[in-house]
Amino acid sequence: MKRRIFTETEQIPAWALCAIINDDYTGLSHEDCKTLKDWLDETHYDIIAPPHDDDYPYFCSHPAFGLACDVYDLKCTCINLK
């Protein structure tokens, strides 16, 4: 069985961090939940690393999903087993 691993840096909206890292969608609108879940289903990332303590959000006009907002650069890893 071959393993193919790749990691990408994605610009993840700050509002989505709690849902991605802690699976806590509290406070998100239905539309935001759908947008995030659609992106997660589409990308198939196995690991999304939380930001480091010294990381700060910055404004991005084209985040990985959703509208322009403050984002964090997160390492997202996909592991394909073939």
For the segment 13-66, what is each residue's pLDDT rounded down to a tens digit?
999 999 999 999 999 999 999 999 999 999 989 999 999 888 999 999 999 999
Has residue 4 got a pLDDT over 70?
Answer: yes
Please count the CA atoms within 13 angstroms of the CA of 55 that sit on its side-chain side: 16
The CA-atom distances, in angstroms, between 27 and each of 5, 17, 18, 19 are 33, 12, 10, 10
* Total-model pTM: 0.87
R_g of the chain, CA atoms, integer Å: 13
Has residue 1 got a pLDDT over 80?
Answer: no
| Alpha-carbon span 53 to 13, nearest angstrom | 17
Has residue 9 got a pLDDT over 70?
Answer: yes
